[in-house]
Structure 1
């Protein structure tokens, strides 16, 4: 049968995407890496980056700076973050010379049952409203991290975000776009327009936006600690609001919440240790992708080649079938992590890939038994923090408790309603999570703290960054700016199955010759301007004694150091 594809692919994907000719540097880099000795911060909003640097310069460490920047992003980038959401962190502690992981995700309401959801939904938990709301874990994550590794007092850490919330800040370009995109969908919910649309509309690029409600909430947290959020007036306000909206999240659910310290998991990729957090997040998928890719000669294939893209996409499909079947809350099911990331299993799965034909479907392996923000900070002592935080689906559920200044997450949407599934809904359970921080070590020493936000793009993006750095020899900036691929349509942790091979999205910058070769292999290709994630990274160069920082051009972000 004759193959064809939309004409817009010819227009948008037929040339390599160089930002401009550069005297130095690499093909895809939009700017030079930032280099500094004493500290580095990379976030998706320049003002938040500056807050982190101010904390470092005034005596705080990387943990203090990361919390300060995250609080600032909750104000300035509510389309991807906020204290109504969850948080995951990997930290390299210079004193113990060890990586630590923190799972700051919240649990489902104890009073909401699977039977109720089955009877009152159309087979899937809704994206918005009260039903997908789970306990927000961010604030407890801050205090749990700070108690173990922090240095500066929390009232000083939160002070910059409080001042910006009171006095206002100019909304940046991409954030303004996403805020306005959320308005029509969420303004019907009580409290949303009052908080984010004080003049009847969302702020535009460059307009000064204030959030006095959030300033007041932050002040209560700064004075009263995490209990002010989970056991005080804030918790009571959240519970009362959700009950009025017909939801189930209660004061007792909030009061019972706590974060969990976890051991990061890793695989060896061509001499480098790639680290992720275990489920209920999807970091294991990034490790599975890389573990299969290492049995292929990726560098010989070449960046942007049809052979590489085909191999990558087929590998992603395999990993995501396991993601759909096995990942969930480890407190409720026995997840075979060791087998999923073993070399033996990776070799077995690699043999399923046909180098000349895209698959329509794969089965998960047989084993024995929404936008987001990512940021990273490093300090002069050598501590490095890899932090990711999210509301899910951009501005979350739309549930905006009275006069608190933030939206509650809709992470519960990702539960399955299929009995027996690893991610099936249960009361007091943590849902499958998309947000994942990452870290790379070499010979037991810190190398790169990095992440890439964006739903199911995250493990795909993590793997592409690692391949760009290690197989294709790109520098830290170019590895993030190089065009990406995103496959959609795999089986999902909510129960949907892939039966048609899904769709391959290609960012502008891939040659027509390679696109045509991919079509001949049976891939269905389309173009999307967005959805390729947002990358930040810090690399430690031990020999030179400096940090390198990178923040990609797809976001409003900035890397800066001193």
Structure 2
């Protein structure tokens, strides 16, 4: 009997029993041939699949998912902001969508300082930029989709009529109910059990948003009227756009926001427009990586890749002490530049992006990486690398003094540490691709719970004003100004190889987004992981960069490691000056699509970190 058992084990090892142990990840990879839809909620992914099954392309499906997750309050609402990268298969190029709202009239540095604030608040009507998500969705759909707005909004409207709310959102509402009660329209929507012990919806309870349903219905009505008057599909969608930003919907948003203490004007909404832009990119070992412009933190990933290209990462070994130390410091160098140089390129001064993204500048920055962590790493001077002179050298010298106020000594106490919750303030992410070659990567956000709801529209307002600085020593390019877009953390990603889509990827998580995205990319390119393995892998998170939220703190040398990191690596990193905390899952949550051109198929990854989910066919 024992001999037979040994023979079975030997045969098992030699043959590699794939039927039993083929699954090496906690979630299975997605495989598809025709289409793939991934986002932050299972019902959101289902909405994308419904659009695909009705014949829509990846842009249609992405818009359907965006509408659904905004309705489900997946760390965003309809009054938040949307940013996207779209691969256009006919033009064979990546297109950038900038649907970030702007600072309203009256929101000045002097105004916020007069309120006794060092930064705009994290919540409330004075935290709100103008709504961007509706305009972003309708612009993407009109320009690159194939379906009507009515078709794309149908799943979201069904959700607004009532859906079984999941525990994560329901419990977030309950834990934030004291703040929600400050705003009458939010209280009406979020707290159906006022006066009871639990005032938020229960998990699985049907959550109804009648006001939002009516608002979405008005957009559909505007489209129908335009079509009846002889307008084409694109013109009809823009008729709905106009109703939101210049018609009765805008009037109610402005009225109710001002009633609750906000600053919006009708002109703020009417003058705001979605921007279709050229993305920024660098080449890493033959792969072209694309990010949005410097009004996001996206170029920090590109800078990190440029710096890391000077090292043999593969020979260091995945998550070795040398690898972690090198990646950590590369990110510290790139994010120090982000913290000082990034801002809205439509305003002066303009960020020195040509110098920041030059390979020569990266080589100079790479020379600063040491055997031990350097907690004093600061911004460099990219101007000589674009043939210019830095106009803010005096502010660079003063920045250390200004940062001292933002560098508390307290260590991170665990996953519920208020600093971590702010630093990792979420969004959601959306990935879609189809057999025709359309690829979409979106990181929408803003209007998360607790949100101020704009009157009887059901639209939750953004909280993105907190990403401004009011002190030029912190960042002269990201000083608050009416009509300007704040520098945000939101950062979809796309990569092409040999001129064809290679990887489309995005993640939620505030300032950790481009950290996770960098590591996902390296996991695949340097260490040969599948996209699902890379989505679940044990990433690190650095806090040696200024938070874009709350009090904008920075914690040099602090690092979150996965519980699986062994003791000898922990000891090595401790000797290098790192202050460590540990979490069970450190993968994001990441969502990604990898393109298998050899077999003509799509591989999807959706990490095991949160509620993110994908469907493919």
Match of 1:171 in 2: 165
Match of 1:188 in 2: 182
Q: Tell me how far apart the structure 2 counterparts of residues 532 and 180 of structure 1 sit (CA, whole Å).
A: 27
Q: Give 3-state SS (helix, strand or coil) of 1:389's partner.
A: coil
Q: Tell me how far apart the structure 1 counterparts of residues 285 and 608 of structure 2 sit (CA, whole Å).
A: 28
Match of 2:465 in 1: 412
Q: Tell me how far apart the structure 2 counterparts of residues 137 and 127 of structure 1 sit (CA, whole Å).
A: 18
Match of 2:215 in 1: 217
Q: Tell me how far apart the structure 1 counterparts of residues 300 and 492 of structure 2 sit (CA, whole Å).
A: 13
Confirm whether residue 501 of structure 1 aligns to residue 590 of structure 2.
no
**Cα deviation, residue 216, structure 1:** 1.1
Richer in helix (by share): 2
Q: Against the structure 1 CA distance between its residues 496 and 217, is the aligned structure 2 distance closer, same or farther, given a 3 Å change threshold?
A: closer
Q: Tell me how far apart the structure 2 counterparts of residues 138 and 495 of structure 1 sit (CA, whole Å).
A: 23
**Cα deviation, residue 498, structure 1:** 7.7
Select 1:458's aligned residue among 492, 513, 517: 513
CA offsets per residue over residues 291-310 of structure 1, 9 Å max, x none?
A: 11121111111122111111
Q: Against the structure 1 CA distance between its residues 494 and 210, is the aligned structure 2 distance closer, same or farther, given a 3 Å change threshold?
A: closer
Q: Give 3-state SS (helix, strand or coil) of 2:160's partner.
A: helix
Moved more, 366-375 or 252-261: 366-375
Q: Tell me how far apart the structure 2 counterparts of residues 79 and 188 of structure 1 sit (CA, whole Å).
A: 22
Within-5 A mapping of 1:198-237: 198-200=192-194, 201-224=199-222, 225-237=240-252
Q: Tell me how far apart the structure 2 counterparts of residues 233 and 500 of structure 1 sit (CA, whole Å).
A: 46
Select 1:72's aligned residue among 58, 68, 71: 68
**Moved beyond 4 Å, runs of 4+:** 492-500, 528-532
Q: Against the structure 1 CA distance between its residues 400 and 183, is the aligned structure 2 distance closer, same or farther, given a 3 Å change threshold?
A: same
Q: Is the radius of gyration larger for structure 1 or structure 2?
A: 2
Match of 1:17 in 2: none
Select 2:79's aligned residue among 47, 66, 84: 84
Select 1:142's aligned residue among 137, 141, 157: 137
CA offsets per residue over residues 316-357 of structure 1, 9 Å max, x none?
A: 1111110011001111131111211111111100100112x1
Moved more, 497-506 or 303-312: 497-506
**Cα deviation, residue 24, structure 1:** 1.8
Match of 1:242 in 2: 257
Q: Tell me how far apart the structure 2 counterparts of residues 528 and 328 of structure 1 sit (CA, whole Å).
A: 32
Confirm whether residue 120 of structure 1 aligns to residue 136 of structure 2.
no
Q: Give 3-state SS (helix, strand or coil) of 1:142's partner.
A: helix
**Cα deviation, residue 531, structure 1:** 7.5
User: For the Cα contact (< 8 Å) 1:211–1:405, is it kept in 2?
Assistant: yes
Q: Tell me how far apart the structure 1 counterparts of residues 174 and 563 of structure 2 sit (CA, whole Å).
A: 25
Match of 1:16 in 2: none
Match of 1:395 in 2: 449
Match of 1:283 in 2: 298
Within-5 A mapping of 1:532-547: 533-547=588-602
Q: Against the structure 1 CA distance between its residues 419 and 307, is the aligned structure 2 distance closer, same or farther, given a 3 Å change threshold?
A: closer
- Unmatched 5+ stretches in structure 1: 1-20
Confirm whether residue 475 of structure 1 aligns to residue 530 of structure 2.
yes
User: For the Cα contact (< 8 Å) 2:561–2:586, is it kept in 1?
Assistant: no
Match of 1:10 in 2: none
Moved more, 291-300 or 469-478: 291-300
Q: Tell me how far apart the structure 2 counterparts of residues 542 and 241 of structure 1 sit (CA, whole Å).
A: 51
Select 1:443's aligned residue among 467, 473, 498: 498
Select 2:150's aligned residue among 146, 152, 155: 155
RMSD over aligned Cα atoms: 2.0
Q: Against the structure 1 CA distance between its residues 359 and 302, is the aligned structure 2 distance closer, same or farther, given a 3 Å change threshold?
A: same
- Unmatched 5+ stretches in structure 2: 1-18, 223-239, 389-424
Q: Against the structure 1 CA distance between its residues 346 and 22, is the aligned structure 2 distance closer, same or farther, given a 3 Å change threshold?
A: farther
Q: Against the structure 1 CA distance between its residues 272 and 527, is the aligned structure 2 distance closer, same or farther, given a 3 Å change threshold?
A: same
Confirm whether residue 262 of structure 1 aligns to residue 260 of structure 2.
no
Q: Tell me how far apart the structure 1 counterparts of residues 187 and 37 of structure 2 sit (CA, whole Å).
A: 32
Q: Against the structure 1 CA distance between its residues 367 and 497, is the aligned structure 2 distance closer, same or farther, given a 3 Å change threshold?
A: farther
Q: Tell me how far apart the structure 2 counterparts of residues 172 and 497 of structure 1 sit (CA, whole Å).
A: 31
User: For the Cα contact (< 8 Å) 1:358–1:523, is it kept in 2?
Assistant: yes
Q: Tell me how far apart the structure 1 counterparts of residues 172 and 310 of structure 2 sit (CA, whole Å).
A: 40
